[in-house]
């Protein structure tokens, strides 16, 4: 009937759909036959996202970050939200000034510039591009 190729966790699967009768499909996966019971289609939930809401939310969420860093070590730059590091712009030993962008964090499909709260020398960089981080995780330490 139809042939498909799936890559799951790095493994390649060649799938051939042989026959579909009501909700039972006969398929062959890498040479092994299976009878698969299909469930009825689950309705997709529609999420409405407007440009204004998406743009405003990160701005509101990232404002508290300087207060959180000042309550802990003044030199810690922490993640305001969970996300993925896109870019790291400093290295240990670099001098930074207050307000300088030190890395870019992607949260909710938006890129957020993470800035240094105070001037100083970068003593540790705990992140790398592509790394997932949690909220309040220490990203960069400034001494």
pLDDT at 44: 60
Give CATH 2.40.50.100 domain extents, the chain: 71-142
pLDDT digits (tens, 9 = 90+) for 70-82: 444 458 999 998 9
Judged by average pLDDT, the poorest of 30-39, 40-49, 116-125, 133-142 is 40-49
CA distance 131 to 35: 40
Enter the pTM of the model: 0.49
Angle at CA of residue 115, ends 60 and 130, nearest 5°? 90
Beta carbons of 128 and 68 less than 8 angstroms apart: no
Assigned CATH class of 71-142: mainly beta
pLDDT digits (tens, 9 = 90+) for 57-69: 444 444 444 443 3
């Amino acid at each position: 009937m139809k042939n498909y190729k799936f890559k799951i966790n790095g493994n390649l699967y060649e799938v051939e759909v042989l026959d579909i009768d009501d909700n039972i499909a006969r398929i062959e996966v890498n040479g092994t036959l299976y009878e698969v019971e299909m469930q009825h289609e689950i309705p997709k939930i529609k999420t409405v996202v407007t440009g204004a809401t998406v743009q405003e939310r990160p701005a509101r969420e990232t404002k508290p970050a300087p207060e959180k860093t000042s309550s802990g070590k003044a030199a810690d730059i922490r993640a305001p939200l969970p996300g993925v590091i896109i870019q790291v712009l400093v290295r240990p030993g670099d001098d930074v000034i207050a307000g300088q962008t030190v890395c870019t964090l992607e949260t909710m499909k938006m890129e957020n510039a993470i800035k240094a709260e105070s001037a100083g020398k970068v003593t540790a960089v705990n992140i790398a591009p592509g790394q997932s981080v949690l909220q309040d995780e220490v990203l960069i330490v400034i001494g």
